[in-house]
Structure 1
Amino acid sequence: MTSRVLQLDLHDAEGDGVYRVVPDDPATLTDDAARAGLRLLRVDLGECADHPDTLHCLSHAFELPVPVDDWQALAASLRDLGWIPAPGYVLLLDHADVLRAQAPHVFQALREQLATVTRDWHARGVPFFVFMTFPDNETLDAAIDA
């Protein structure tokens, strides 16, 4: 199943990674993830003002069995996901621009951890896509679904 957003094959772990998309793209991504049989996890980063808020939002979205209080613990949990088995995962992070504006160091740490987790899933051949919504003028590489 090729997503109409960025023309990515959601079955193929070769294309996984962390991508910017425009606010209009999530509806298409949601449909594409469902058609591909991938588990969609959606998080609104607009209410995350700091490190603990962000970890809490992600812990809740991933239904983590153990609370996490640092990036390494979050990354370790995201490398497993045995409690929500799926052939692959799509993480949709709404309002990423808000988190970046409110807490740039938290945004950067989150992005780095997600990139690391994505590479780990990639090495196992399991699709793990992360899509962060940004305003149109900040999304240079997103294909807008016409």
Structure 2
Amino acid sequence: MKHSSHFHPDRTSTRYSSFCITTSALVIIISEQQLVLEGGILVDLGAIGSRIKAAREKKHLTQDDLAAIVDLSSTHISVIERGVKPPKLETFVNIANALGVSADTLLQDVVEHSSEGIASELAAEIMKLPAKERSRIINAVRALTE
């Protein structure tokens, strides 16, 4: 079987182009910011990168600061935040821990059974509202769930 430069049957591909297949993890990269995992799960790397950036900025950290904490280059942090390349699992966990956010929060559009991601984001937004508005929202949610 002839293999193209994008197909490596014996190792995970490190080339990120407009289309790439890796057999060991069965990951198909369909664009620079999206990839499809085994089982058809679409991962929006740009959205995950944006949430990492927002969490970093919320902690008043620069890319250089975060890079130093997780032992990466600031260029690597930039690549992850822009969704150009998915981080390795170890890197992802280190970034989440350094930023004090859960993986659920960063993966909220991918994880089906998130324990806190969307709920935490929703609660944070509701807390920004005046007390009267918060009460109206809570009553509406209660009416919907009863």
- For the aligned pair, the TM-score class normalised by the smaller chain equals under 0.3
TM-score, normalization by structure 2: 0.23
Which protein is bigger by CA-based radius of gyration? Answer: 2
TM-score by length of 1: 0.23
